[in-house]
C-alpha cells in the first residue's frame, strides 16, 4: 500500500519548486527546438516540391546534370520526340524552367524569381487559375504571378486582383503581369511566374528552343508507368533521366537532404535539441537523487529494492517529460502560424510530428533518468547510518 498511495516521485519534484520550474523550462525549450527544426525541415521539402506535385504528367524527363528545380540544366528536345515513339505514350510536353532576374515592383531592386514556360495548348499544371488564363499568356510578354509569393508584392497583387495590368522588368525585358495563381514560396525562390514557351524564349534570349529543361510524358490509359520507365531508360540516350512523378519528387527531396547544407542544419538542430534535453533532465534528476540519497538508502534498509527506486526515478522523468512537452508544443504551434504568415512556407503542425516529438521527449527523459540511476544504485544503508 505504501508504494501505491504515496506519490513519491511527484513530491520530490515539487519540494524544490524553483528547480522544478527550471527543469520544465529546459524541456520546453528542447521540445520547441525539435518541433521547429522538424517543421522547417518538412517545409524545406514541401515548398521545393510544390510544382512537382502539381505537374500534369505520368513521367518526367530531366537532364543527367540536373540538381534541383532551380538548376535543371537542359537536354535536347528530340529526346521527347523519341519517347513519343513508344506505343504506351499518349503525349509529350516540353517545359522551360530557369531562375531569372526580376525587378521588384515596390523596392525596385533586382531579385531572383523562378520563371516557367510551356505550350499553352498543352496545360502542364493542375492549377485552375493558370488553366483559365492560357489564352492570356499567349500574348507577347504577358505573365501570371504567384499571389502567395514571399516578399513586398502586396500592392502589385492588389492591382492585378482588380483586373489591372502591372508592368516591370524580367531579365532586362519589359513584361506585363495580368493574372494570378497560387503556389507559394520555396527555398529556391521567393516568387514565381508562369508564361508561354514563346514568351519564355523571348525573355531568355540565350535559351535555344531545341534545349528544354523538363519533359512531361503522359501515358495512355492502362499503361504501367514503371514498365514504361524501364523501357525509356534503355531506349533514350544516357544524357537524360526518366522518372515517375513520385521519383521526381523524391529526386528534389534527396537534393535538399544530401546536397543542400540547409537540410543537414535542420537535422542537426533536432539532434542538438534532443541532447540539450537529455543534459537538462539528467542534471535535475541527478541533483534530486543526491539531495535525497539518505532517504533512498533508508528505503533500501526498509526492504525496497532497486527496481522500485528505479521506478520512482523514471516516474520523475516521465512527469518532467509531460510537463515540459505541453507548453513546448503550444508555443511551437503559435510559432508555426507566425512563421507561415511571414515566409509563406508550408509550415504546419502535423499529428505525426506531434507524436514523434512526444516519443523523443519521453525517450530523452527516460535516458536521463536511467543515467542518474547509476548513483542511486550506489546508495548503501551502511554508509548512511
Q: How much is the mean pLDDT over the chain?
A: 86
What b/e readout covers 323-334, taking b as 16+ CB neighbours within 10 angstroms?
bbbebbbebbee
The grid coordinates of residue 156 equal 502589385
| Predicted pLDDT at 271 | 86
Per residue in 301-326, pLDDT tens? Answer: 676 666 777 777 788 888 888 999 99
pTM for this predicted structure: 0.81
Report yes or no: 48 and 215 within 8 Å, Cβ to Cβ. no
In 10 A of CB 193, how many CB atoms? 25
The mean pLDDT of 130-140, rounded to a whole number, is 94
- pLDDT band for 64, please (50, 70, 90 cuts): very high
Query: Contact 321/362 with Cβ under 8 angstroms?
Result: yes
Grid cell in block for residue 214:
523538363
pLDDT at position 3 is 45
pLDDT surpassing 60 at residue 214: yes
Give the mean pLDDT of 334-341: 91
3-state secondary structure 270-282: HHHHHHHHHHHHH
- Which grid coordinates belong to 45? 521539402
- Parse the chain into domains and list their residue ranges: 2-47+261-384, 65-238
Query: What is the β-pairing status of strands 192-196 and 142-146?
Result: antiparallel
Q: Which residues contact 272 (CB under 8 A, 6 or more apart)?
A: 33
pLDDT band at residue 5 under the 50/70/90 scheme:
low
Digit-coded pLDDT (tens) for 245-259:
999 999 999 998 887
Q: Is the pLDDT of residue 365 over 80?
A: yes
The mean-pLDDT minimum among 64-78, 263-277, 370-384 falls in: 370-384
Supply 106's cell numbers.
515596390
pLDDT of residue 13: 74
Query: What is the average per-residue pLDDT within 275-302?
Result: 74
CA–CA dist 268, 266 (Å, integer): 5
Amino acid at each position: 500500500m505504501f508504494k501505491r498511495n504515496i506519490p513519491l516521485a511527484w513530491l520530490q519534484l515539487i519540494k524544490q519548486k524553483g528547480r522544478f520550474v527550471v527543469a520544465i523550462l529546459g524541456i520546453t525549450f528542447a521540445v520547441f527546438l525539435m518541433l521547429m527544426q522538424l517543421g522547417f525541415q518538412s517545409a524545406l521539402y514541401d515548398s521545393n516540391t510544390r510544382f512537382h506535385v502539381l505537374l500534369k504528367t505520368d513521367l518526367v524527363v530531366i537532364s543527367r546534370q540536373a540538381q534541383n528545380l532551380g538548376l535543371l540544366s537542359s537536354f535536347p528536345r528530340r529526346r521527347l520526340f523519341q519517347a513519343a515513339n513508344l506505343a504506351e505514350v499518349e503525349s509529350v510536353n516540353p517545359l522551360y524552367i530557369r531562375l531569372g532576374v526580376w525587378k521588384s515592383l515596390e523596392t525596385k531592386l533586382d531579385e531572383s524569381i523562378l520563371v516557367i514556360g510551356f505550350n499553352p495548348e498543352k496545360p502542364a499544371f493542375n492549377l485552375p487559375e493558370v488553366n483559365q488564363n492560357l489564352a492570356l499568356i499567349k500574348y507577347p510578354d504577358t505573365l501570371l504571378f504567384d499571389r502567395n509569393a514571399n516578399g513586398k508584392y502586396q500592392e502589385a497583387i492588389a492591382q492585378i486582383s482588380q483586373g489591372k495590368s502591372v508592368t516591370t522588368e524580367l531579365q532586362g525585358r519589359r513584361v506585363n503581369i495580368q493574372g494570378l495563381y497560387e503556389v507559394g514560396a520555396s527555398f529556391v525562390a521567393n516568387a514565381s511566374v508562369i508564361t508561354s514557351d514563346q514568351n519564355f524564349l523571348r525573355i531568355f534570349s540565350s535559351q535555344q528552343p531545341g534545349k528544354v529543361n523538363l519533359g512531361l510524358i503522359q501515358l495512355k490509359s492502362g499503361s504501367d508507368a514503371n514498365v514504361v520507365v524501364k523501357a525509356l531508360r534503355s531506349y533514350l540516350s544516357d544524357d537524360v533521366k526518366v522518372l515517375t512523378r513520385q521519383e521526381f519528387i523524391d529526386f528534389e527531396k534527396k537534393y535538399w537532404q544530401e546536397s543542400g547544407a540547409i537540410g543537414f542544419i535542420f537535422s542537426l538542430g533536432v539532434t542538438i535539441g534532443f541532447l540539450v534535453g537529455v543534459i537538462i533532465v539528467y542534471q535535475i534528476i541527478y541533483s534530486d537523487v543526491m539531495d535525497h540519497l539518505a532517504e533512498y538508502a533508508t528505503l533500501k534498509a526498509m526492504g525496497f529494492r532497486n527496481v522500485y527506486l528505479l521506478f520512482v526515478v523514471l516516474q520523475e522523468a516521465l512527469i518532467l517529460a509531460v510537463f515540459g512537452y505541453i507548453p513546448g508544443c503550444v508555443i511551437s504551434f503559435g510559432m508555426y502560424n507566425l512563421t507561415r504568415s511571414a515566409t509563406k512556407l508550408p509550415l504546419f503542425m502535423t499529428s505525426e510530428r506531434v507524436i514523434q516529438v512526444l516519443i523523443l521527449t519521453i525517450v530523452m527523459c527516460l535516458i536521463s533518468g536511467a543515467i542518474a540511476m547509476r548513483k542511486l544504485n550506489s546508495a548503501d544503508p551502511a554508509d548512511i547510518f
